[in-house]
Amino acid sequence: MRGAITSLEGQITLTRQKLDAAEGDRDFLLEELHRLQTEKAEMEQRLSDVVALREQIVHLRDQLSVARQIENLRRNLYGAEPGRPGETPLRGVRPADAASGPDLNVEIRRDGTATILTVPTNAPPAPE
């Protein structure tokens, strides 16, 4: 009987150690669960941020495309950009119509001076 009691006491001690270890594992597992849940929430937040960033990028690309189209239209309507060397903006200049009258011949020099050239006409000579 004493051997059986000693054997049972050993089993009880072993069972208590296992129980303590299981409780320690339970605490560890609860902490690990909490850490993983926090990490998951952070990743979900990052994912939603990435989705929001992608939507913002699409919106910005659309705006850039519209801005480029407007710039191209402006260049087509008004000519080259002002301020570029060697280019003169053509703001408000339209091609002459045949019904608008004779052309004007002008000589423009590099220094900015201009001379209006006269065009011979079929008018009678002026009296002397």
Tokens encoding 94 = 């339209």
**pTM (two decimals):** 0.35
CB 109 within 8 A of CB 119: no
| Residue type, position 45, single letter | Q
Q: Can you tell me the distance from the alpha carbon of 85 to that of 62, in angstroms, rounded to the nearest whole number?
A: 32
Q: Is 78 exposed, middle or buried (0-12, 13-18, 19+ CB in 10 A)?
A: middle
Which pLDDT band, with edges at 50, 70 and 90, does 66 fall under?
Answer: very high
Question: Is the confidence at residue 88, as pLDDT, over 80?
Answer: no
Over residues 91-113, the pLDDT tens digits come to 555 555 555 666 677 888 888 88
Q: How many CA atoms lie within 13 A of 110 on its CB side?
A: 1
Question: Is the confidence at residue 76, as pLDDT, over 60?
Answer: yes
Which pLDDT band, with edges at 50, 70 and 90, does 25 fall under?
Answer: confident
Which pLDDT band, with edges at 50, 70 and 90, does 68 fall under?
Answer: very high
- Phi then psi for residue 86, to 5 deg, are 85, 0
